[in-house]
Amino acid sequence: MTESDPNQGDVSTAAVTVEEPPQIPKRRGPGRPRKHPLPAEAPPSENLQIESTGNQHPSQVGDVPSQSTLNVPKRRGRPKKIVQTNPGNQSFHGEATAVENSESTPKRGAGRPRKTTGIDLEIPLAEAAAENGQSGVQERELSGAATGDGANSLKRTTRPKKESSYSFGDDDFDFEDRKQEEERASKKVKITHREITPEVEANTAEAVGLHPYDIVDGEKQFLPDDVDQDVYPQVRNHVLTKWRHNVLRRLTPEDACASIQKRFHPLCVAAHTFLERYGYINFGVAPAFRLVAPPDPGTNGKPSVLVIGAGLSGLAAARQLLSFGHSVLVLEGRQRPGGRVYTKRLAAPDDTHAAAADLGGSVITGIDGNPLAVLAKQLRIPLHVVRSECPLYMSNGHLIDEDVDARVDKQFNQLLDDCNAWREQMPVADNVRLSTALETFRVQRGIGDMPHEHHILNWHIANLEYANAACMHELSLAHWDQDDPNELQGHHCFLPGGNLRLVTALAEGVPVFYSTAALQIAHGQNGVEVTCTNGKVFRADVALCTMPLGVLKSGSIQFEPELPGRKQHAIRSLGFGLLNKVAMLFPHAFWGDGIDTFGRVADSTGRRGEYFLFYSYHRIAGGSLLMGLVAGDAAKTFEGRSQEDIAAEVLQVLHGIYDKQGIHVPEPLRIECTGWASDPLARGSYSHVAVGASGEDYNTMAEAIDGRLFFAGEATTIEHPATMHGAFLTGLREAGKIASLPAAALQPAKAPLPPTIQQESQVDAGRGSKNLDHLVGPTAQHLRFVFTSPDEEFGAFAAVYHPQAPLDNARLALVKVELGPAMGQEEERDIGAGNVASEERPVVLYLQLRRRSVLELRDTLGGDIRRLQARHSRHAGGTCRSVQQSIFSAERGRCLPLTGGGVERNASVRCLHWGHLAGGCSGGYIGGISLGACGGYIGGTSLGACDGYMGASR
């Protein structure tokens, strides 16, 4: 699944306004393929007969989106090429605009003119400066104006470039082209600014999805009935822009009003309240937004909230609600946060090479107005701009001629134009497959009749299937590209080190129960009750459901009472498709350093999506990592093959491309294959508009039920479905809805949240084991997170090496052992295998070993029992049963060290958590622990400083 931020100093400074002519870039480039509009041409024939599925879209789902949202063909072509221009030396490389189409926001009233000048809201600059004891003119060194591509939506082709404050500086990007860096550096200028113009502020509002000149629905509850509808939007835009200039700080109402005339202060406070409530300002992971301990449930009159799912939407909502003072608990079925955003560390057997592989959502698709780019800026992580070059190779290794490539590219887009023009004339287009229309026009125009051109055309179709996680025959002709007008503009980027860095930062301070998948969700007048697969039951006032659409489609979660028929229909109607990946770690980047993507054109239509596109991550993953994408029908058959067969197939493809160039393709050091359809907690990759559905189904998915059940996730946004930033934005949206619930509308739940999130003030002095269980919770949470990406993993053992020590056999490692109560009954069974009943919870131990001892354990034959016997008998002289007895005495409330010290530097093995913590409720944040290359975490307490104990007493 699928992803702009400012930080340009004080609001009293402004960026340079740069006007650029609209452009239509070549249809290729970085990230998920983009949609690029062209003027639609009439189809070859107005009387073509195209097959209909005969399934009418029910009227109860909602009206079809207006034609204005349907007449832009989805130019999924090759990932979009970003074109920078430099009219009059006023456009500079290294920054991006934040101009976003406003099609998804309420339109201006009929006949109301577009305002290009504003009412004088601000205190005169000299007066404000005098009050602050400052000069009336402030200077700032800028790297040019915020500029970018202006041809990615219908609106962009008809209006000039606009400048907003939602922009980036040079330090926010990691450009690989040295010539480009030098060009950027040569264009740095010092500019004097006196004020932010109303036009800049309006563009900033548009970039984040607000209508710049009108009041949107969510704002009305904060405003008086007689509000001046001309003045208020300008006040709101001003407040928004003020925070977007510095996303590292919290903007208070007082700060927001500081430069506004007093007569506008009430409007300013109202705007601040709205913008903060719905996540337009004051969100993220900067130190200024560090979470504080939540209040005791029911003490502040705010509803308690269960968030089901710790993906981007769930974590975004949880952080917001915690910051608003709600009592929040997150339930996550996996043993890690992130959901379909999954970064895994791949390492060579000898650990000489390693890389961070994004096996789920990977590309931040358009940084202008993108909240994920705000998070990256707050974490001070430079984004890597994905370069636009994408050479295509035939299966025999021949590089496709540029002229042929351009001709087929143009023909493919002509076919989409034909489909676009024809569907507007066809009343039953809702029930026609995109593949049927496309093939009809292909035959009519004689496109792709030559075999090699037909293969190239199939590559473009595979790329479109990748963009939608769907086969062509599954997509609705009428609505498959309904989100085009809302696509975020700007560069496509990778996050160095993987998107887990964003997930980790979001999860910090959020209480999460891992390995706790929802099984049943009951809701009614007295609140919600969630029963989980591990037998735990949770109660709260409201619940936010963020599980993937694929899980809802599978029926694995039972709702009591059942969901309304309207929502059930939306769940059935929307599509949830599949994209799979194969990640390969090589000893070196044999494919070269000059490109981030290259394509492979298959000879067979049925296998057109098989390894059709490769991403190079070697500059940002820490190692020579190559990622092959598998889309369409090929993605479905991919999961039925063994990893050995997949490795042989993809290597054959790479040999076919590079052997004829005289480039040696080495054997991969590590291969990892995804299987998102087989994952019971995903059941696929991301959503699309299937035949018989419409974009309105996304709105239905987002509807709350009786003020008790709320829904978030990429499949609940009509504007940004199938994207990472879309998921994140829905979390902010739903947090705003829940925080805005009137207190009188909700009676307290019959029982509060379980006492597992009680605070230190609630410690019971008379029950030591209960208290210790609570107090070591954060440490257990840290440890659980540390071991989401271990350096070594075998059976019930996992190890993480010291990040700063030299790589030799004396290197220290923290080792985790998960012991099940039945371990002594089956000598050949791995300790960690199988499900453990709730009354037989596993116990997790941590010990410190040298690397040589870890490798000895890994190579010990006979499974986990033999490993533990060998280790214990070597240092303690006891038996495996004595280890168990010692462990389960700790389970009864006394955390005892194992008999016989001497486990590497005489360190005792300590039990760090047990009871319900050992049963899967192991928290959800890093808490400052740094593992460097081991997991991509940044800053904070190092593993060495903890000396293997991670907070437990010696």
pLDDT at res. 100 = 33
pLDDT at res. 819 = 73
For the record, the structure tokens of 859 come out as 């190579």
Residue 69 predicted with pLDDT over 90:
no
Share of the chain above pLDDT 90, in %: 51
Average pLDDT estimate for 135-158: 30
Residue 696 predicted with pLDDT over 50:
yes
Tens digit of pLDDT for each residue in 371-408? 999 999 999 999 999 998 999 999 889 999 999 999 99
Residue 213 predicted with pLDDT over 90:
yes
For the record, the structure tokens of 297 come out as 């449930």
**Distance (Å, whole) CA 645 – CA 633:** 18
Fold topology of 300-341+499-576+682-745: FAD/NAD(P)-binding domain (3.50.50)
Average pLDDT estimate for 470-495: 94
Residue 823 predicted with pLDDT over 60:
no
pLDDT at res. 192 = 34
**Distance (Å, whole) CA 527 – CA 411:** 56
Confidence of residue 657 (pLDDT cuts 50, 70, 90): very high
For the record, the structure tokens of 935 come out as 């997991």
Omega cis (within 30) before 561: yes
Average pLDDT estimate for 305-328: 97
Residue 346, Ramachandran bin (φ over 0: left; ψ between -120 and 50: alpha; else beta): beta
Q: Which residues pair with 394 in a beta bridge?
A: 601
Tens digit of pLDDT for each residue in 110-127? 333 334 334 566 554 334
> Of 125-139, 647-661, 683-697, where does mean pLDDT reach its minimum?
125-139
Pick the closest to residue 466 from 311, 608, 359, 621 (CA basis). Answer: 608
Question: CB-based burial of residue 439 (10 Å sphere; 0-12 exposed, 13-18 middle, 19+ buried)?
Answer: middle
Residue 599 predicted with pLDDT over 60:
yes
Residue 585 predicted with pLDDT over 70:
yes
Average pLDDT estimate for 596-615: 96
3-state class (DSSP) for residue 133: coil
Q: What are the distances in angstroms from CA 927 to CA 377, 508, 555, 782, 814? A: 20, 6, 36, 6, 17
Output the CATH code of domain 379-492+577-678.
3.90.660.10
Question: CB-based burial of residue 593 (10 Å sphere; 0-12 exposed, 13-18 middle, 19+ buried)?
Answer: exposed
Domain locations in the chain? 300-341+499-576+682-745, 379-492+577-678, 768-946
Tens digit of pLDDT for each residue in 337-372? 999 999 999 999 999 999 999 999 999 999 999 999
Confidence of residue 789 (pLDDT cuts 50, 70, 90): confident
pLDDT at res. 742 = 82
Give, for 132, the enclosing helix (H) or strand (E): helix 125-132
Average pLDDT estimate for 731-740: 97
> Of 106-120, 229-243, 836-850, where does mean pLDDT reach its minimum?
106-120
Residue 8 predicted with pLDDT over 50:
no
Residue 808 predicted with pLDDT over 70:
yes
pLDDT at res. 785 = 63
Average pLDDT estimate for 647-652: 96
| 670 touches 586 (CB < 8 A) | no
DSSP one-letter code for 649: H
Confidence of residue 909 (pLDDT cuts 50, 70, 90): very low
| 718 touches 574 (CB < 8 A) | no
Confidence of residue 146 (pLDDT cuts 50, 70, 90): very low
pLDDT at res. 133 = 41
**Distance (Å, whole) CA 110 – CA 87:** 35
Tens digit of pLDDT for each residue in 521-536? 999 999 999 999 999 9
